[in-house]
Structure 1
Amino acid sequence: MGGELSGNEEAQILPDPAPKQGGWTTFPLIAGTLMGSSIAVSGWANNLIVYMIEIFHVRSIDATQTFNMAAASTSLLPVIAAILADSILGCYSVIWTSSLVSVLGILLIALTAMLEPLRPQPCQNGSGMCPTPSKVQFSVLYSGIALASIGVAGTRFTIAAMGANQFENPKDQRVFFNWFAVTLYTSLVLGATVIVYIEENVSWALGYCLCVAVNVVGLAIFLLGRRYYRHVKPQGSPFTSLARVIVATFLKRKVPLSSRAEDYYHHKDGPMDKRYSMPTKSFGFLNHAALETEGDTKVDGSIAKSWRLCSVQQVEDLKTLLRIFPLLSSGIILCTTLPIVSTLTILQALTLDRHLGPNLKVPAGSMIVFILTSTAINLTFIDRFLFPMWQKITHRSLMPLQRIGLGHVFNMTGMAVAALVESKRLKFAQIHHVSDHPGSIVPMLVLWLVPQLVLVGVGEAFHYPGQVTLYYQEFPKPLRSTAAAMISVVVGIAYYLSTAVIDLVRTVTTWLPDDINKGRLGNVYLMFAVMQMFNLFYFLICAKCYRYQSPEEGNKSNDESCEAEK
């Protein structure tokens, strides 16, 4: 798969020292690295709420909010790692450096479980008196969470971009993203079951030490595969050229636009047959940036004033980002489903009967495994059965926007089901007067929570790979690593949004007290379901008139169907 990238791609592939660089040969290495990182983060993060409540005596809703803030930061930071990978360091350096930071962070969390001075004393038996953690104890715990979050943020989505860089064929890239997601969710399942079970039933210290170990193994696999990867050489920050377009547009805002293609700067736009193409009419005001005026170019045709003149391609790259922004924004509310359902379900599980037999008790932190398992199974079903069946019936591929749309529907349905199940749980709690006896369990099996988790998992299987594929294919080529991280940015904003909404609900209503048996958690689920419904309408409007930028998808764009209907 070695060689040079075609077209006007600014990123260059370094010379291949070996004939078998890139391609599917590298997938086991990428998958092994991803598994190590994902099992580790799943092991410490999925049980973090329970750890903070039971070991550090943090109030339940506060622990949930802390987890959401950490998850939000983990999701927003990948864009910084992607920018560093695209512009300065390259994917390889960012991944191994981030993995080391992750190992250090998890080690600090493990130390709080291993060393008694780093955690508060247990609560007194038979009383609600629990020692408050000291500043040092909180500092070590939060430092570990911060470093571990930064580490996984710099690894997961950067390795997704690096894996896609091993392929030149868009079809191979789509298949890679699907199997990347299968590997990711399968790994998260292992962490949320095996390691979480060990933490709650054997030893917190042993569970966290296992997280450190698998992270180190993943890093070792990644480093051993260095000679087999195709490395993309960073070419400076692509955001500089986007900023230049904005500045040049402002400086030339009063210069009349021309109707002649040769009046626009095309010097670095690619092959000769594209040199004199007209800039597109959408966001036409940005075309001022590519309009040549006296003194803008040198005798040899190069740019004389870099902040006053840009190429047509640079202008079109910025337009591409503006066109995709409405779709990207619609993903924010879509992605609030996962943080809301996964965290609040843990609080529900802590109040329910979690025994599945005389000797097996489901850890509350493992409830997310139903989402992850559902996602992994449905990803395989979609790739092996749904895609071929869809293509056989319609003679067309299932487009990324169609996958995302189905994800909207399943996520909204999952929220609605969660509201119904919570109303049943609360009814049982009231009938048996559970709220009058602190620590009592609602006589209702925890498996009642499974349907809502499965539905959310199906939604994730549709929209998550769909969004990653859409952004990677549609973003300008110099922003490929950033594109792969955009879904993470969307998820991060969604976590912050869900945290803010929960704080607002706690302020203006009585729906979320510390004892959820005295609250109205079902109203919270229902509120988010309604938000999802309106967001679905917004997405459909955005998707209806979006034109795919990829030549392969362009002949099947929704925009063309809009024009055909006219």
Structure 2
Amino acid sequence: MEASVVSGDGEAQVIQSSTAKRGGWITFPFIIATMGGLSLACGGWTMNLMVYLIEEFNVKSIDAAQIFNIVNGCTALFPILGAIVADSFLGCFSVIWISSLFSLLGVVLITVTSTHDSLRPPHCETGSSLCKSPSPFQLSILYSGLALGCLGVGGTRYTLGTMGANQFDTSKNQGSFFNWYFFTLYVSTMVSVTALVYIEDSVSWVLGFGLSVLANLLGLIIFVLGNRFYRHVEANGSPFTGLARVIVAAIRKRKAFLSTKPEDYYYQDEQLGGVEKAAAALVPTKSLKFLNTAALKSEGDIKSDGSLAKPWRLCTVEQVEDLKALIKIMPLWSTGIFVATPIAIQGSLVVLQALTMDRHIGPHFQIPAGSMVVFIFIFTAASLTLIDRFLYPTWKKLSGHPPTPLQRIAVGHVLNVLSMAVSAMVESKRLNTAKSHQKDSIVPISVIWLMPPLAIVGVGEAFHFPGQVSLYYQEFPASLKTTATAMVSLFIGIAYYLSTAIVDSARRMTSWLPDDINHGRLDNVYWVIVVLGILNFTYFLVCCYFYEYQNPHIEVEDSSKSEK
């Protein structure tokens, strides 16, 4: 998705004198190896964090789930900040190596807490009322490591992809790069969720975290070693600055009278010297017309040489229309928040469920509780292949056109609600079994029962998240294509924070979530989420009904291509 972004104005910023012979596939091994190392390290300390907090820091189970969700929210939101800093100030290379260093320091601190007994509370039986809570000093070391780790993820996850695409001149090569980029991300995450989590659970926390440190260090070293081959792109400002200028300019000119003459407005072509072309352009659209004053020219706005005298008082019509496009799509975007929220809640609570269930596969192997989310990745990856190879072609043959992004998102909504309903039924069965075996700390029910809801949510993600990216990429203006991908990460980050609020409210207002979930009603939490999901889906359908495509010609082109 980001390939089209880096092939635009950003490439014009390349310093030709020093980077003319740089870039290309020679940089590919360095960037992909860096991505693999950093993703492996990130998964090594995030995926099993709940278990580490419960078993080694004596953190209560629901509190551990809350901390886990907050950390995941940070790792989803911080990449947006990293992308803005790279675009506006430091450039990709500086942001990546600095962030990789932050990440390394964070994982080292987390590893240190596992090696020194003085940095952890005394060990005790999990769930015992006699367990001693960690001291403020012990928590400060742990939280410092988590914070540095989150900052490290924020500065690398998007910027590595953007920098990698900057190395290529054609969309074909950029597309190939991104295929390998996301493949590496998924594979590295799956390795960390399985191998590293298993080592942490079954061998040693020190070894598991130590391997994360090694992976992070190798990623940083490999990235820096490739510097002499990279093509560097100058920071050219964030598109969010232009959007902010529209709001400020519209407020400052709120009393101005709108004109129907095109020549009274300021256009991008006029800024570049194409006065005649700008004069022939259409006036701004009538929707959200209160923003049009931001592009209305007035005395003193433009210097004699044609440049802007007051950039925060006058914007181009294109910038105004860009902001309008964002505002129009925001209701649809907001529906994604509560699709991601149940996934975030399920991802943390399923670990607590697994800790109380029989996790043995055969006489010798036990599934680590922190590895349960790997089933979501597996079913998402498998579903993406089946959908692309079989479902979409069949849909085209039957209907004459491919499914629209909104249709794909709708399927994701339905599957998400279904997954929560199945989770509620599975939890009811687990609780009934726990009641008949109250003396057992481990409920004699196989953890395999948790796989069906995880499988359904994985298939739902294969529909929902790609559909979201496709919709934003199609509907956002050309200057905001990077923002299209970031919008998905943004609502995922918000969803993690919202999930902590929902879980905290359920814990405060009901008796459904005690520290020992065998004496609670986690199934009721899932049923409430089902009801909220149905309401959210209804809201989504209403938004779809009123939404007008900004780029309907893309759908027409897709249909004509499929007919051929």
Distance in structure 2 (CA, Å) of the matches to 1:411 and 1:108 = 37
Q: Which segment is superposed worse, 455-464 or 519-528?
A: 455-464
Asked if 1:143 is matched to 2:144, the reply is yes
Return closer, same or farther for 1:224/1:475 CA change in 2, 3 Å cut-off: farther
Q: Please name the residue that 2:195 is paired with.
A: 194
Alignment of 1:72-151 (within 5 A): 72-123=73-124, 129-151=130-152
Q: Please name the residue that 1:563 is paired with.
A: none
Task: Determine what percentage of the aligned residue pairs are the same residue.
Answer: 54
Question: Cα deviation per residue 1:161-220 (whole Å; 9 max; x = unaligned)?
Answer: 444555677787677656544432322111011000000111100000111111222333
CA contact (8 A) 1:158 1:485 kept: no
Return closer, same or farther for 1:534/1:253 CA change in 2, 3 Å cut-off: same
Q: Which segment is superposed worse, 127-136 or 328-337?
A: 127-136
Alignment of 1:403-422 (within 5 A): 403-422=408-427
Gaps of 5+ in 2: 560-564
Q: Please name the residue that 1:312 is paired with.
A: 317
CA contact (8 A) 1:64 1:343 kept: yes
Return closer, same or farther for 1:378/1:430 CA change in 2, 3 Å cut-off: same
Return closer, same or farther for 1:103/1:480 CA change in 2, 3 Å cut-off: farther
Q: Please name the residue that 2:52 is paired with.
A: 51
Q: Please name the residue that 1:505 is paired with.
A: 506
Q: Which segment is superposed worse, 189-198 or 236-245?
A: 236-245
The residue type equivalent to 2:327 in the other structure is L
Distance in structure 2 (CA, Å) of the matches to 1:146 and 1:249 = 38
Distance in structure 1 (CA, Å) of the matches to 2:230 and 2:342 = 36
Asked if 1:423 is matched to 2:428, the reply is yes
Distance in structure 1 (CA, Å) of the matches to 2:69 and 2:6 = 42
CA contact (8 A) 1:337 1:456 kept: no
Give 3-state SS (helix, strand or coil) of 1:443's partner. Answer: strand
**Following TM superposition, by how much is the alpha carbon of 1:4 offset from its aligned partner in structure 2, in angstroms?**
12
Asked if 1:352 is matched to 2:354, the reply is no
The residue type equivalent to 1:415 in the other structure is M
Asked if 1:21 is matched to 2:23, the reply is yes
Aligned residues: 551
Q: Please name the residue that 1:277 is paired with.
A: 281
Question: Cα deviation per residue 1:291-320 (whole Å; 9 max; x = unaligned)?
Answer: 122332233333233222211112122112
Q: Please name the residue that 1:295 is paired with.
A: 300
Q: Which segment is superposed worse, 238-247 or 141-150?
A: 238-247
CA contact (8 A) 2:194 2:371 kept: yes
Asked if 1:209 is matched to 2:210, the reply is yes
Asked if 1:69 is matched to 2:73, the reply is no
Distance in structure 1 (CA, Å) of the matches to 2:406 and 2:204 = 45
Instruction: Using structure 1 for the length normalisation, give the TM-score.
Output: 0.88
CA contact (8 A) 1:18 1:228 kept: no
Q: Please name the residue that 1:233 is paired with.
A: 234
**Following TM superposition, by how much is the alpha carbon of 1:403 offset from its aligned partner in structure 2, in angstroms?**
3.1
Q: Which segment is superposed worse, 143-152 or 123-132?
A: 123-132
Q: Please name the residue that 2:562 is paired with.
A: none
Return closer, same or farther for 1:4/1:488 CA change in 2, 3 Å cut-off: closer
CA contact (8 A) 1:30 1:222 kept: yes
Q: Please name the residue that 2:526 is paired with.
A: 525
Instruction: Using structure 2 for the length normalisation, give the TM-score.
Output: 0.89
CA contact (8 A) 2:197 2:368 kept: yes
CA contact (8 A) 1:248 1:309 kept: yes
Distance in structure 1 (CA, Å) of the matches to 2:8 and 2:262 = 19
Q: Please name the residue that 1:564 is paired with.
A: none
Q: Please name the residue that 1:445 is paired with.
A: 446
Q: Please name the residue that 2:259 is paired with.
A: 258
CA contact (8 A) 1:177 1:465 kept: no
Return closer, same or farther for 1:283/1:124 CA change in 2, 3 Å cut-off: closer
Question: Cα deviation per residue 1:41-90 (whole Å; 9 max; x = unaligned)?
Answer: 21211111111111111111111111111111222222211211121112
Distance in structure 1 (CA, Å) of the matches to 2:71 and 2:225 = 31
**Following TM superposition, by how much is the alpha carbon of 1:264 offset from its aligned partner in structure 2, in angstroms?**
0.9
Match of 1:336 among 341, 348, 358: 341
Distance in structure 1 (CA, Å) of the matches to 2:286 and 2:472 = 22
Q: Please name the residue that 2:497 is paired with.
A: 496
Asked if 1:223 is matched to 2:224, the reply is yes
Q: Which segment is superposed worse, 63-72 or 121-130?
A: 121-130
Q: Which segment is superposed worse, 216-225 or 385-394?
A: 385-394
The residue type equivalent to 1:51 in the other structure is Y
CA contact (8 A) 2:106 2:145 kept: yes
Alignment of 1:333-412 (within 5 A): 333-391=338-396, 394-412=399-417
The residue type equivalent to 1:276 in the other structure is A
CA contact (8 A) 2:5 2:482 kept: no
Q: Please name the residue that 1:561 is paired with.
A: none
CA contact (8 A) 1:9 1:477 kept: no
Q: Which segment is superposed worse, 356-365 or 455-464?
A: 455-464
The residue type equivalent to 1:420 in the other structure is M
CA contact (8 A) 1:85 1:91 kept: yes
Q: Which segment is superposed worse, 92-101 or 8-17?
A: 8-17
Distance in structure 2 (CA, Å) of the matches to 1:162 and 1:551 = 31
C-alpha RMSD of matched pairs (Å) = 3.1
CA contact (8 A) 1:86 1:479 kept: no
Return closer, same or farther for 1:190/1:541 CA change in 2, 3 Å cut-off: same
**Following TM superposition, by how much is the alpha carbon of 1:398 offset from its aligned partner in structure 2, in angstroms?**
4.3
Question: Cα deviation per residue 1:274-301 (whole Å; 9 max; x = unaligned)?
Answer: 6532212221111111112233223333
**Following TM superposition, by how much is the alpha carbon of 1:499 offset from its aligned partner in structure 2, in angstroms?**
0.5
The residue type equivalent to 1:268 in the other structure is Q
Asked if 1:12 is matched to 2:12, the reply is yes
The residue type equivalent to 2:332 in the other structure is L
**Following TM superposition, by how much is the alpha carbon of 1:29 offset from its aligned partner in structure 2, in angstroms?**
4.5
Return closer, same or farther for 1:381/1:36 CA change in 2, 3 Å cut-off: farther
Q: Which segment is superposed worse, 25-34 or 291-300?
A: 25-34
Give 3-state SS (helix, strand or coil) of 1:335's partner. Answer: helix
Distance in structure 2 (CA, Å) of the matches to 1:274 and 1:212 = 55
Give 3-state SS (helix, strand or coil) of 2:70's partner. Answer: helix
Return closer, same or farther for 1:134/1:344 CA change in 2, 3 Å cut-off: same
Gaps of 5+ in 1: 559-566
Return closer, same or farther for 1:125/1:352 CA change in 2, 3 Å cut-off: closer
Q: Please name the residue that 1:268 is paired with.
A: 271
CA contact (8 A) 1:334 1:411 kept: yes
The residue type equivalent to 1:212 in the other structure is V
Question: Cα deviation per residue 1:477-498 (whole Å; 9 max; x = unaligned)?
Answer: 5544444333222111101111
CA contact (8 A) 1:185 1:373 kept: no
Return closer, same or farther for 1:398/1:161 CA change in 2, 3 Å cut-off: farther
